Each structure stands twice: as structure tokens, then as C-alpha cells.
């Protein structure tokens, strides 16, 4: 039997298989409000057969957005705009739904990727003042962020907690905190971006403090039936930056606080990074962190082939795999993987007649008698 299509639990969350749809920014919100694009985009991904769909990086404050068009969850209006999307998915799909809550920190106030993705300066009417662990810009010439004081740190922790409450009110199943890709939590973790001299800077213990306190705030705000985890960058890919051994320590500390999964990515903090991109290039980090802690580990990064994903799970390198760009390119990837691996996958009955004759039990034995 396929290990990829075997069930798994992330704390209280029971998943039908080990395929997650990774968060993918769409830059299509209206002042943070979900739009028709989200209904279309998330709706068709919800019919993919994956076990878990994680909504894109969702800002906890207006300043937390990567771009002016990022999705947000900082007010009742944002919750209300997202509700019809979630309700529609629930009507037609058994997929479990999570949301990635994040704050872009010094990488906020950026142009859309298809318009170059450059920093929007304060002189641009669409730009805003960014904030970070220290007053160090992401790249030379970009907006110098405001170094967060204690009041600012408390404000952001409270914003994460309030967004978690709204996620629960929406009926979501899981929360993933965005601690990767050079965004605010990552900025506190890395010595390249954190040069503070207070209890949030300097030693590894101090640099982890913000990440752990944000997790605690969210865990306390979310009810026990919601799974809460974190996505991290295992390494900055820059000498002297955040690296794997520190990630192992962070994973163990998160686990002590009740973290129920960790999603292992890499990079994003510095333009000096040198990443040897290739198929499954981050899986070795997932395997190392899995060996260092007891919670489920999600591996991600150029996972494109069913046999590749099956090997990652069956060999114990990760407990789940997450797909992003591949899922955009092939939104029925789980169907095709199940066919190749002789497994079953969930599909809406409206689509049962689509299964090829050689895979007549792909959608389960209930489809055998269809006319």
C-alpha cells in the first residue's frame, strides 16, 4: 500500500493522506479582503484530492502584508470576506483547511512579483513604513525598517492571537505560523537581521524568544481542536546566518510548547543566499529535523513526481510532502499520483466518470457501478 496515501494526524487533525498544498501568495486581495479570485483558486485546489490545503500567507496587520494586494485577517471585515470561500469548499470537498498567518517585517511594502517585486519606498503612495527586529534593510537602498520596541512586539503578538481567533471562527482546521522565507519571525531568528542587545537578540535563546512567544500566543488563542504548527527556513544559505543546528533546537523548543507540526523550507532572508536548487533540495533538512524531534515534519521543495514523494514518505525523511508550483501546474496531481501508486483518492461524484478505465477504482469502489 502507498505510504503517501496513508492517513496521518497532526495533533488533533486527522488527514486522509500525506499530501499538503503549500501556501502560495496570490497577490489578489482588495485591501486584504478575499476576492472572487480566491473563490476560484482555492475552490479548484480543494477538489484536488490532497489531504490538507493551507491558505496563502495571510497578514495579521496591514503593515504585515508583503504587497498591497496580500490577503489579510486583521478585522471582522476580512473574516467576513473569506467566509463564503471557506463555506463553499466545505460544501463540496472533505479537504482539511489551514491558514498561514504571517508578518512580512522588513520584506513588506513590496511590488507585485509580476511587476518586479521591488521594495515600494515611502515616497510611493502604495508603500508604507516597515518594521523588523533591527533597523537593517533587506537589501541596500530599500526602506530601513523601524526596530520594534517592547510595545511593538506585544502589539504584533496580540495581532497573531486575534487572527488565530478569527481563523477558528471561520471553521479552519489548522494554523501554520510563517517563520520562514525572511519574514518577521525569521528576521528575529537570524543573526544577519537581528542585532538587538535586549532579551530578543544576541544568543540563540534570545533570538528564538519572539518565535516562541508568538507560537504561545497563537496556541493559547486557538482551541485544542485546531492544529498549530510553524514553517521555518532551516538555513539562510549564507555564512554566519541561521542554520540547521539552530533549527533543530528551535524545533525541540516548539515541540515542548505543544507545536503539532513543522514545515521545513529554507532561504529567503538575504539576497546573498546561494541555493543549490534541484529536485527535493530541502528534504535533507526535513530529515535532519525529523530525527531531532518527535512531531510530524512536512517536507517541501521541488517535489514533482509521485514516486519521488512516495520515497520521501516511505524512507522516513518526512511525514508529509507539500507541493506548491507543481500543484498550480497540475491541480489534479494527487489523482495522477494515486493512479500511479495504485491508491485511492477523494473526488467529487460529479467527476467520477472522468477516471480512465484502467484506474476504475481510483475514486473508490463506490464508483464501480456508475453508468
Positions marked active-site: 183
Annotated domain spans of the chain: 8-367
The CA-atom distances, in angstroms, between 300 and each of 33, 193, 286 are 28, 24, 8
- Pairs from 310-315 (Cβ < 8 Å, separation ≥ 24): 310/2, 310/3, 310/4, 310/337, 310/341, 312/280, 312/283, 313/3, 313/4, 313/18, 314/3, 314/4
The model's confidence at residue 364, banded by pLDDT at 50, 70 and 90, is: confident
Neighbours of 257 (CB within 10 A): 12
Over residues 342-352, the pLDDT tens digits come to 999 999 999 99
Q: What is the pTM of this model?
A: 0.96
CATH topology for 8-367 is: TIM Barrel (3.20.20)
* Tens-place pLDDT, residues 232-276: 999 999 999 999 999 999 999 999 999 999 999 999 999 999 999
The stretch 309-332 carries a mean pLDDT of 97
**Distance between CA atoms of residues 257 and 154, nearest Å:** 19
pLDDT greater than 90 at residue 366: no
Is residue 370 predicted with pLDDT exceeding 60?
Answer: no
Predicted confidence at residue 291, as pLDDT, reads 98
Question: How high is the pLDDT of residue 282?
Answer: 97
Per-residue pLDDT reduced to its tens digit, 35-83:
999 999 999 999 999 999 999 999 999 999 999 999 999 999 999 999 9
Amino acid at each position: 500500500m502507498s505510504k503517501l496515501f496513508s492517513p496521518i494526524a497532526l495533533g488533533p487533525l486527522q488527514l486522509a493522506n500525506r499530501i499538503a498544498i503549500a501556501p502560495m501568495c496570490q497577490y489578489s486581495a482588495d485591501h486584504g479582503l478575499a476576492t472572487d479570485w480566491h473563490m476560484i483558486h482555492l475552490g479548484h485546489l480543494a477538489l484536488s484530492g490532497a489531504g490538507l490545503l493551507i491558505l496563502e500567507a495571510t497578514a495579521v496587520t496591514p503593515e504585515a502584508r508583503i504587497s498591497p494586494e496580500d490577503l489579510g485577517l486583521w478585522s471582522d471585515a476580512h473574516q467576513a470576506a473569506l467566509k463564503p470561500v471557506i463555506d463553499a469548499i466545505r460544501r463540496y470537498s472533505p479537504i482539511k483547511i489551514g491558514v498561514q498567518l504571517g508578518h512580512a517585517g522588513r520584506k513588506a511594502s513590496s511590488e507585485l512579483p509580476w511587476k518586479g517585486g521591488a521594495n515600494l519606498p515611502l515616497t510611493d503612495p502604495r508603500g508604507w513604513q516597515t518594521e523588523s527586529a533591527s533597523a537593517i534593510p533587506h537589501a541596500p537602498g530599500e526602506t530601513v525598517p523601524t526596530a520594534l520596541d517592547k510595545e511593538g512586539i506585544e502589539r504584533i503578538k496580540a495581532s497573531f492571537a486575534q487572527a488565530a481567533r478569527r481563523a477558528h471562527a471561520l471553521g479552519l482546521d489548522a494554523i501554520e505560523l510563517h517563520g520562514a522565507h525572511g519574514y518577521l519571525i525569521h528576521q528575529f531568528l537570524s543573526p544577519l537581521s537581528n542585532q538587538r542587545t535586549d532579551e530578543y537578540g544576541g544568543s540563540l535563546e534570545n533570538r528564538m524568544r519572539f518565535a516562541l512567544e508568538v507560537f504561545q500566543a497563537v496556541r493559547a488563542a486557538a482551541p485544542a481542536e485546531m492544529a498549530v504548527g510553524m514553517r521555518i527556513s532551516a538555513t539562510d544559505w549564507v555564512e554566519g546566518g541561521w542554520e540547521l543546528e539552530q533549527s533543530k533546537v528551535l524545533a525541540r523548543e516548539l515541540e515542548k510548547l505543544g507545536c503539532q507540526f513543522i514545515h521545513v523550507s529554507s532561504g529567503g532572508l538575504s539576497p546573498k543566499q546561494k541555493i543549490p536548487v534541484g529536485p527535493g533540495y530541502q528534504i535533507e533538512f526535513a530529515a535532519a529535523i525529523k530525527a531531532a524531534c518527535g512531531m510530524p515534519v512536512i517536507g517541501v521543495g521541488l517535489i514533482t513526481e509521485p514516486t519521488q514523494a512516495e520515497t520521501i514518505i516511505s524512507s522516513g525523511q518526512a511525514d508529509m510532502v507539500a507541493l506548491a508550483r507543481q500543484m498550480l501546474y497540475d491541480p489534479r496531481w494527487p489523482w495522477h499520483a494515486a493512479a500511479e501508486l495504485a491508491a485511492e483518492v477523494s473526488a467529487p461524484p460529479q467527476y467520477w466518470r472522468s477516471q480512465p478505465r484502467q484506474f476504475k477504482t481510483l475514486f473508490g469502489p463506490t464508483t464501480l457501478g456508475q453508468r
